[in-house]
Amino acid sequence: MAYCVQCGGKMEERIPDGDERSRLVCPDCGHITYENPKLVVGTLPVVAGKVLLLRRAIEPRYGTWSYPGGFLEMGETIEEGASRESREELGIEVGKLRLHGIYDRPSVGIVTIIYLAEIVRGEPAPSSEALEARYFGPEEIPWNELAFPTTARALVDWVSSTR
Ligand SMILES: [Zn+2]
């Protein structure tokens, strides 16, 4: 049971007047809860023609490979969020961000924005979120061990861009 954040009433699921989708609506005060996709931001740090990936130390998809990335926080610019995730997960300071691509997963409500980046400080190191970090050339991508469809799509585009 969901409760109204405005008045504490019990929310009901129905299609509001003039809407086309079912929402949680408060019958007492009329408050409507809108669910929208969340933004994930990340980087593809590239050094000497190889991309830096990490092996996830957290669920979901523990042990699979991905780029450093995570949910954008309130008050952050996209580039700040992408840089923060790279710092938190691998201990590297990235710079010279260039938009690489935007990838959606409508079934789970996620939009991922990925930047190409250079490492300006620090050596990639494991963290509470990364079991290991490793550089992969275009021919070395572990396609069968990637974390998410978005990871694969971003790396397909990266490999194409190197040809
Ligand atoms: Zn209410």
117 plus 144 within the same structural domain: yes
Residues with CB under 5 A from ligand 1 (ion): 4, 6-7, 9, 26, 28-29, 31
| Cα-to-centroid distance, 20 and ligand 1 (Å) | 21
pLDDT tens-digit map of 4-49: 999 999 999 999 999 999 999 999 999 999 999 999 999 999 999 9
- R_g of the chain computed on alpha carbons: 19
For residue range 70-122, what is the model confidence (pLDDT) as tens digits?
A: 999 999 999 999 999 999 999 999 999 999 999 999 999 999 999 999 999 99
Same-domain status, 7 and 53: no
Distance 104 CA to ligand 1 centre (A): 32
Q: How far is the CA of 23 from the centre of ligand 1 (A)?
A: 13
Q: Are 47 and 24 in the same domain?
A: no
Q: Is the dihedral of CA 146, 149, 154, 160 positive or negative?
A: positive
- Give pTM, 2 decimals: 0.89
Question: Domain check: are 23 and 66 in the same one?
Answer: no
Identify whether residues 12 and 59 lie together within a single domain.
Answer: no
Domain containing 101 equals 38-162
How far is the centre of ligand 1, averaged over its atoms, from the C-alpha of 25 (Å)? 8
Instruction: Please write the tens of the pLDDT for every residue from 63-79.
Output: 999 999 999 999 999 99
Quick one: 87 and 153 in the same domain? yes
Residue 85, SS3 per DSSP: helix
Report whether 126 contacts 135 (CB < 8 A).
Answer: no
15 and 95, same domain (yes or no): no
d(C-alpha 80, C-alpha 72), whole Å: 9
